[in-house]
Amino acid sequence: MTTTDSALKAKHRALWALGDYPAVATDLIPSLGPILVAATGIGPGQRVLDVAAGTGNVAIPAALAGADVVASDLTPELLQVGEKRAAEQGARLAWEEADAEHLPYRAGEFDVVVSCVGVMFAPMHQLAADELIRVTRPGGSIGLIAWTPEGFIGQLFATMKPYVAPPPPGAQPPPLWGSEAHVAALFGDRVSGVVTEKRSVVISGFPTGAAFRDYWKGIYGPTIAAYRGLADDPERTAALDQEMAALGDKYLINGAMEWEYLLYTASVV
């Protein structure tokens, strides 16, 4: 890994340690993990890897389903929270720090490899996709959940894009993983039996777009980082405030938002 790569990884590691992502996983999207476990048919006797596992939204229910699970993530602070939560639920699994673009596992080591709104944030999509394929045994399964470009979270990243520093050369926007065509291009002919479905998770508890914005500003790492980068520019800060609130209002219908995601499963050839 080059010095530039190491610096980028350190930045990403720190980014996801900001705020309180564990609260996002627990309070807003806890249903996504069990959905991915069910979609991939995880059960006893299977060796499972959760890539960019965070606090274990998929890994913990997979372990409770009887699988032999490794939860891997770049950010140790998230793994520590996940390990505590697993213990509270009686789930036994391994928690290991790992980079999705350079996984420290043998080729074909796992029966099922999954990631829930996780691997999509690895900046070099092809590297990450190649690693998912490499560590899955032939005939094994890959299962992914990713926010779509057209959905709320995809549009949120598009809203923030003009206010943050440009990504490094070669990096691609995270919500592209929510595009069937993009994922098809990443995996190519190395998978078969592809099944994709666009679904939505319903988010309630925010009466206005401004209320969502204020919550997100304090809890979600990428948004916290965006605002920190604007700390010396009150005009741009106010503009981002306005755009985020307007986006929230656009998606709020009868007191709830729908956040669209792509559910993807396939078998490795």
Number of structural domains in the chain: 1
Compute the mean pLDDT over every residue in the chain, rounded to the nearest whole number.
96
Tens digits of residue pLDDT in 148-172: 999 999 999 999 999 999 999 999 9
Residue 3, pLDDT above cutoff 70:
no
Determine, yes or no, domain membership for 21. Answer: yes
Determine, yes or no, domain membership for 159. Answer: yes
Determine, yes or no, domain membership for 215. Answer: no
Query: How far apart are the C-alpha atoms of 253 and 162, rounded to whole Å?
Result: 27
Residue 94 burial class via C-beta count within 10 angstroms: exposed 0-12, middle 13-18, buried 19 and up: middle
Residue 5, pLDDT above cutoff 90:
no
Determine, yes or no, domain membership for 230. Answer: no
The parent domain of residue 16 ranges over 3-202+257-268
Determine, yes or no, domain membership for 140. Answer: yes
Q: How confident is the model at residue 2 (pLDDT cuts 50, 70, 90)?
A: low
How confident is the model over 184-206, as a mean pLDDT?
97
**CA-to-CA dists, residue 209 to 75, 102, 243, angstroms:** 29, 38, 10
Determine, yes or no, domain membership for 231. Answer: no
* Residue-level pLDDT at 232: 97
Dihedrals φ, ψ of 56, to 5°? 95, 30
Determine, yes or no, domain membership for 124. Answer: yes
Determine, yes or no, domain membership for 245. Answer: no
- Which of the 8 DSSP states describes residue 117? S
CA-closest candidate to residue 59, choices 81, 27, 77, 259: 81
* Residue-level pLDDT at 6: 84
Tens digits of residue pLDDT in 27-85: 999 999 999 999 999 999 999 999 999 999 999 999 999 999 999 999 999 999 999 99
According to DSSP, the residues that pair with 260 across neighbouring strands are 200
What is the domain-level CATH number for residue 142? Answer: 3.40.50.150
Q: pTM score, two decimals?
A: 0.96
* Residue-level pLDDT at 4: 67
How confident is the model over 90-117, as a mean pLDDT?
98
Cα angle 221-120-69, degrees, rounded to a multiple of 5: 95
